[in-house]
Structure 1
Amino acid sequence: MPRPTNPEVRSRLLSRGGEVVYERGFNGCGVQDITTAAGVPKGSFYNYFESKEAFACEILEEYWLSITTRIAPVLYEARIKPLKRIARFFKDLSEDHAIRNFSYGCLIGNISLELSNGSEDTRLRLANLLTRWERALAECLSEAQERGELSVGRNTGELAAILVEAYEGAVMRSKVEQSGATFDRFDAVVLPRLLA
């Protein structure tokens, strides 16, 4: 009879192994690197995940959960004007990247570049996460329209998608340059023009 899985081991694989993928890239590490970081035998990996690609889907979900728990609540803070909430959300995301000296990038963007053509399940998970991110921004933008901060003629779904695309471009360049200059430009130039 197979041993039941241990939630603590699964959690360690996701957190410590996920850090390895985030730091080195999906293709820059193997299952052995992931299990070594988590302190579990390599064979145990497959008791928790069908494949390395399935693991990627799970660490993406954990990454997004971390953002929604730590950073996204500002998007729903009714005491702050909606457009200021959006600016604060992106500023907080940028500060998160600064903690790692701008060298890791965004796990969503990183795995998009590595796996979107190689794993259909991962591509679908990425698409779902981007849709959820856009939806959260679009809700805030719709509230901005209701409050008269944003023209009612603007398509909030499209604008939210453009914000995500522009920000992900800034993240990619910040990773290349290992600098926060792209985030400064995003805050000072891109956001004001898009949200005008």
Structure 2
Amino acid sequence: MDNGHLETKEKLLRMGTQVLTEKGFSSTGLDSILKEAGIPKGSFYHYFANKKAFGLAVIDNYNAYFCAKLDKWLLNDSRSPLDRLADFIADAKHGMERYRFKRGCLIGNLGQELAGVDETFRHPLEKVFLTWQTRVSRCLEEAQQQNEIAHHLNCQDLASFFWIGWEGAILRAKLAQSCDPLELFADQFFGMIKKNNPIENNRSENRESNSDYQRK
């Protein structure tokens, strides 16, 4: 595929990401995407068999972009692991404000819209979340190794919990037109897992007391 064809396909995917994130899949017609991109319909079918194939390609393209974004923040070894996760959250907040809370997360948006009605999209969307979850889990494992979080915590479960809560916070931020839900979730998440958290310290003390009692 020559550079001209690659540019056309990439333009379609970029425009598709923008429009589908803001308006959803079902309510978006191909004509509106092609009009925004300035590309004739015949060119579209050169790259994609139909709208569903295009939607799946947009998901793959967005996942590649977002994984690179996660790696930028979560693999930054000049920062502590929990600071890296906080940096990702801060960047996401700036993104929400920059687009005036109109976009949010394409994968979360499509998941809410399509997961219960179209099997074509359900598994690819879940696979994306699992990919992101793995990256956060590795970051949390590093935090554990550096003694930032307690060693008894299950990092895979924490990473799953992070994305479940984060996507809900993104939705509430769009509804409230405010980053407050994102900040609330982040504060509660970090407060829950940090090793010097008084609640976590009490839990550890209770576990130790129970162990002492059982030995008696």
Q: Which residue of 2 aligns with 1:181?
A: 180
Cα distance, 1:163 vs structure 2: 0.4
Instruction: Map 1:94-133; keep pairs closer than 5 Å.
Output: 94-133=93-132
Listed one character per residue, the Cα deviations across residues 78-124 of structure 1 (whole Å, up to 9, x for unaligned) are 22111111121122122211111112221011000111133323222
Q: CA RMSD in A?
A: 1.8
Does the Cα contact within 8 Å between 1:134 and 1:160 map onto a contact in 2? yes
Does the Cα contact within 8 Å between 1:74 and 1:88 map onto a contact in 2? yes
Listed one character per residue, the Cα deviations across residues 47-75 of structure 1 (whole Å, up to 9, x for unaligned) are 21122222122212222222233453121
Q: Which has the larger radius of gyration?
A: 2
Q: Which residue of 1 aligns with 2:46?
A: 47
Cα distance, 1:168 vs structure 2: 0.4
Inter-partner Cα distance in structure 1 for 2:180 and 2:54? 33
Listed one character per residue, the Cα deviations across residues 127-159 of structure 1 (whole Å, up to 9, x for unaligned) are 111011100000011111111111111111110
TM-score scaled to structure 1, two decimals?
A: 0.89
Code of the aligned partner of 1:141:
L
DSSP 3-state at the match of 1:29:
coil
Cα distance, 1:177 vs structure 2: 1.5
Cα distance, 1:30 vs structure 2: 0.6
Inter-partner Cα distance in structure 2 for 1:50 and 1:124? 20
Inter-partner Cα distance in structure 2 for 1:143 and 1:191? 15
Q: Which residue of 1 aligns with 2:85?
A: 86
Q: Which residue of 2 aligns with 1:165?
A: 164
Inter-partner Cα distance in structure 2 for 1:195 and 1:67? 26
Tell me which moved more, 79-88 or 38-47: 38-47
Q: Which residue of 1 aligns with 2:8?
A: 9
Does the Cα contact within 8 Å between 1:20 and 1:37 map onto a contact in 2? no
Q: Which residue of 1 aligns with 2:209?
A: none
Cα distance, 1:16 vs structure 2: 1.7
Cα distance, 1:195 vs structure 2: 4.2
Identity %: 32
TM-score scaled to structure 2, two decimals?
A: 0.82
- Structure 1 93/64 Cα, relative in aligned 2: closer, same or farther at 3 Å? farther
Does the Cα contact within 8 Å between 1:103 and 1:176 map onto a contact in 2? no
Length, aligned pairs only: 192
Does the Cα contact within 8 Å between 1:134 and 1:157 map onto a contact in 2? yes
Inter-partner Cα distance in structure 1 for 2:43 and 2:117? 24
Cα distance, 1:77 vs structure 2: 1.4
Dislocated runs of 4+, deviation >4 Å: none
